[in-house]
Homo-oligomer: A and B are copies of this chain.
Amino acid sequence: MPTKKKPQATTAAPERRGELLQTAAEVFAEQGYNATTVRKIADHAGMLAGSLYYHFDSKESMLEEILRTFLDELWSGYDTVLDADLGPRETLQALVTESFREIDRHRPAVAIYQKESRHLVTQDRFEFLAESQRRFEKTWLTTLERGVADGVFRADLDIRLTYRFVRDTVWVAASWYRPGGHHSPEEIARQYLSMVLDGIATR
């Protein structure tokens, strides 16, 4: 009893940082990183702009932490899939499904990633984005190539074009997806996969 510091275990106190990052991510996603002022974030968090600097070094460090956290979790999910050693078609399905789950969990982060990663990669601080992109590309290309070799994916398509098609197709969904809407991430994944694998034309 006397050693207890926060009697109400319900209220957040150790995760204040996480809450603030969540808030920041939402505003970044909504308005764009550059157009988001530190004051706007603070307003959303119910504090003054300067107070954010007790928790974070800079606006940029918030961005970094948001993206890093997202990518860490993304790769954790991907790695589980990849470690399962499935066939190429099942791997693709699992990766896409996992991607939609991540969009569901980290929608703001994904939206930010989509909009900002292009010019961030050039900065040292965001080198991890470039590294992730390289792994990402390798993972997908390998899966597609295995599928072509196994005869489950079409051989008449430009493989890099196919890669970009699948990649973009999945991730742009973050720009319109709203968690808690009509479709669960798994349902969206199912329909997307159906379109990607079999097309929208009737056979």
| A contacts, CB < 8 Å to B | 30-32, 34-35, 89, 115-116, 118-119, 151-158, 161-162, 164-166, 168-169, 172-173, 175-176, 183, 188, 191-192, 194-203
* Main secondary structure on A side of the interface with B: helix
Q: How far is the CA of A180 from the CA of B1 in the complex (A)?
A: 52
* Chain A to chain B: the 8 pairs with minimum beta-carbon distance, closest first: A199-B199, A34-B34, A198-B199, A168-B172, A197-B201, A197-B199, A34-B35, A169-B169
Q: How far is the CA of A157 from the CA of B191 in the complex (A)?
A: 7
A39 to chain B, nearest CB (A): 11
Q: Which B residue's beta carbon lies closest to that of A167?
A: B172
A116 / chain B contacts, CB cutoff of 8 Å: 32
Question: Per a CB cutoff under 8 Å, which of B152, B188, B202 touches A201?
Answer: B152
A115 / chain B contacts, CB cutoff of 8 Å: 32, 115
Q: How far is the CA of A78 from the CA of B166 in the complex (A)?
A: 26
A89 / chain B contacts, CB cutoff of 8 Å: 201
* Docked-complex contact B34 and A154, CB < 8 angstroms: no
Q: How far is the CA of A165 from the CA of B100 in the complex (A)?
A: 14
24 A-B residue contacts at CB 8 Å?
A: A30-B119, A31-B119, A32-B115, A32-B119, A35-B119, A89-B201, A118-B175, A152-B202, A156-B194, A157-B195, A157-B200, A161-B183, A162-B195, A164-B173, A165-B192, A172-B172, A195-B199, A196-B199, A196-B200, A197-B199, A197-B201, A198-B198, A198-B199, A198-B201
A175 / chain B contacts, CB cutoff of 8 Å: 118, 168
